[in-house]
Amino acid sequence: MELIFERSVKGRKGLRLPKCDVPSAKDIPARYKRKGIADLPEVSELDVVRHFTRLSRMNFSIDTHFYPLGSCTMKYNPKFMEDIAKLPGFSQLHPLLPQLLLGGMLTQGALEVLYNLERLLAELTGMHEVTTEPMAGAHGELTGMMLVAAYHRDRGNQKRYIIIPDSSHGTNPASATIAGYQTISIPTDKNGVMDFNQYKNKLNSEVAAVMLTCPNTVGIFNSQIRQICSLAHQNDALVYYDGANLNAILGKVRPGDIGFDIVHLNLHKTFATPHGGGGPGSGPVGVRKDLARFLPVPKVVKRSDGTYALEENWPESIGRIASFYGNFDVLLKAYAYILLLGKDGLIEASEKAVLNANYIMAGLKKYYHLPYDRICMHECVFSAAKQLEKGVHALDIAKALIDKGFHPPTIYFPLIVKEALMIEPTETESKDTLDRFIEAMKEIAELSQTNPQAVKDTPLTTPVSRPDETKAGRELNLRWNP
């Protein structure tokens, strides 16, 4: 692949510096000065535009392709939210700006956004208070587990375990472990939910919390969820809601009303802020009333005179869990998204997300094995078991989809489904797109029977066919060496 450095032609320039808007420094000590000139590529503006546009077209994105990556909720991100995030009053705000400068005139708007967003997320989840500080879902989980620990420490409880079903996202046991707990894994029953009897048997006075995703990662809502919560509470264990799948129930069911005590949300999933490529994300955490005193600082508060402030002085807080106040631009976009859709829009989004997933499930049932054959929520999980009889794996099906112009679904997750294909269409896709996807999956299923090798030879349309993903991970090399 050609690099921008290789396009360099001595003397070629595409540079126009803006007028300096700060006083230029005069006496910079010699030790801070660079010797010689920086070794930068010499290219024209057009060279740069073509280079990066070409690179961007080698990739898949939600703006170019259907992206049914299960569990990740890759919905369309309305451009309206970018307009809001671009407003100079937000985008040029420095996080170290003193709160009271010019009577707080510069920061009040941003603090109001944080405050209002926290109130909206509390309302949507049925929680008492929310922190917007965590930077991702996994960070929210860790924050939640630290809150669990703070709760039990406060009560003098000796607790050691977190119960987690085996369908959970890998970050759940990881977060519990980092917070100092051991995990107890509960198997999934034949209906696709946590085995209730095994849960009852494993629950004891040393269990600190139960960590659940509902609907879970096979897209099924657990109808025993209230009983699960009340049994936990009888043992003074808290119940944690992994909100990555909130898109299925938004405006329909609130985790707080079911009996959950702590909730994290993935704003970059449910609330449509862009994600992929590792960030930025946002994983706000909501808690029931008696846990609010443990939330991280600073807290955004509204004073009696109607102004907003960041408060550090909460002695029982678990402390700071991030620099500054979370990923503000992501929070701002999520706030804009919620206001854009409004109550009815959010409910409709959820309904369509569920309808779309069931439409795909019904369309593909004949061609792919469906381990849990029941109405699903926002995503459906197939297995490539039938195709495997011909030697075609879930990975091969994913690669074949790329040639047909679709981003692959999540594969090999959840771990409880062999050769899993986890499809989450989201609400923003039209029936035409869903039909084209179903047709493509059908063709791949048929080709797997008639000419399995042809499926295994895909993709043929990408710059690199099948990279060695293990080697790429272990020997990551991002440096250009002339």
Ligand X SMILES: *Cc1c(COP(=O)(O)O)cnc(C)c1O
Q: Name which position in 283, 296, 298, 326 contacts ligand X (CB under 6 A).
A: 283
Q: Identify which of residues 93 and 174 has a Cβ nearer to ligand X in the complex.
A: 174
Q: Identify which of residues 276 and 371 has a Cβ nearer to ligand X in the complex.
A: 276
| CB of 440 vs ligand X, minimal distance in Å | 24
Q: Name which position in 114, 117, 130, 136 contacts ligand X (CB under 6 A).
A: 136
Q: Which residue lies nearest ligand X, judged by its C-beta? A: 137
Q: CA 428, 430, 433, 434 torsion: positive or negative?
A: positive
| CB of 95 vs ligand X, minimal distance in Å | 22
Residue 165 touches ligand X, criterion: CB under 6 A: no
Residues from 37 through 76 that contact ligand X (CB under 6 A): 71
Q: Which stretch binds ligand X (CB under 6 A): 18-26, 61-69, 130-138, 231-239?
A: 130-138
Q: Identify which of residues 111 and 228 has a Cβ nearer to ligand X in the complex.
A: 228
Residue 266 touches ligand X, criterion: CB under 6 A: yes
Residue 143 touches ligand X, criterion: CB under 6 A: no
The CB density around residue 303, as the number of other CB atoms within 10 Å, is: 9
| CB of 141 vs ligand X, minimal distance in Å | 7
| CB of 140 vs ligand X, minimal distance in Å | 8
Residue 138 touches ligand X, criterion: CB under 6 A: yes
* Lookup result for tokens 């307009």: 83
| CB of 332 vs ligand X, minimal distance in Å | 18
Residue 284 touches ligand X, criterion: CB under 6 A: no
The CB density around residue 11, as the number of other CB atoms within 10 Å, is: 6
Residue 217 touches ligand X, criterion: CB under 6 A: yes
Q: Which stretch binds ligand X (CB under 6 A): 132-140, 331-339, 395-403, 463-471?
A: 132-140
| CB of 15 vs ligand X, minimal distance in Å | 38
Residue 133 touches ligand X, criterion: CB under 6 A: no
Residue 134 touches ligand X, criterion: CB under 6 A: no
Residue 422 touches ligand X, criterion: CB under 6 A: no
Q: How far is CA 146 from CA 203, 209, 286, 373, 450, in A?
A: 20, 11, 13, 37, 54
Residue 410 touches ligand X, criterion: CB under 6 A: no
| CB of 3 vs ligand X, minimal distance in Å | 30
Number of residues that bind ligand X (CB under 6 A): 13
Over the chain, what HEC string results? Answer: CCCHHHHCCCCCCCCCCCCCCCCCCCCCCHHHCCCCCCCCCCCCHHHHHHHHHHHHHCCCCCCCCCCCECCCCCCCCCCHHHHHHHCHHHHCCCCCCCCCHHHHCCCHHHHHHHHHHHHHHHHHHCCCEEECCCCCHHHHHHHHHHHHHHHHHHHCCCCCEEEEECCCCCHHHHHHHHCCCEEEEECECCCCCECHHHHHHHCCCCEEEEEEECCCCCCCCCCCHHHHHHHHHHCCCEEEEEECCHHHCCCCCCHHHHCCCEEEECHHHHCCCCCCCCCCCCCCEEECHHHHHHCCCCEEEECCCCCEEEECCCCCCCCCCCCCCCCHHHHHHHHHHHHHHHHHHHHHHHHHHHHHHHHHHHHHCCCCECCCCCCCCCCEEEECHHHHCCCCCHHHHHHHHHHCCCCCCEECCCCCCCCEEEECCCCCCCHHHHHHHHHHHHHHHHHHHHCHHHHHCCCCCCCCCCCCHHHHHHCCCCCCCC
Q: Which stretch binds ligand X (CB under 6 A): 112-120, 133-141, 202-210, 314-322?
A: 133-141
Q: Identify which of residues 107 and 143 has a Cβ nearer to ligand X in the complex.
A: 143
Residue 425 touches ligand X, criterion: CB under 6 A: no
Q: Identify which of residues 264 and 445 has a Cβ nearer to ligand X in the complex.
A: 264
Q: Name which position in 118, 129, 133, 242 contacts ligand X (CB under 6 A).
A: 242
Q: Identify which of residues 169 and 254 has a Cβ nearer to ligand X in the complex.
A: 169
Q: Which stretch binds ligand X (CB under 6 A): 136-144, 150-158, 354-362, 472-480?
A: 136-144
Largest CA distance in the chain: 75
- Taking the C-alpha atoms of residue 363 and residue 431, their distance in angstroms, rounded to an integer, is 12
Q: Identify which of residues 171 and 387 has a Cβ nearer to ligand X in the complex.
A: 171
Residue 411 touches ligand X, criterion: CB under 6 A: no
Q: Is 221:215 a contact under the CB 8 Å cutoff? A: yes
Residues from 169 through 208 that contact ligand X (CB under 6 A): 169, 171
| CB of 178 vs ligand X, minimal distance in Å | 13
Q: Identify which of residues 214 and 397 has a Cβ nearer to ligand X in the complex.
A: 214
Q: Identify which of residues 283 and 326 has a Cβ nearer to ligand X in the complex.
A: 283
Fill in the amino acid letter for 469.
E
| Residues at the site binding ligand X, with contacts judged by CB under 6 A | 71, 136-138, 169, 171, 213, 217, 242, 244, 266, 281, 283
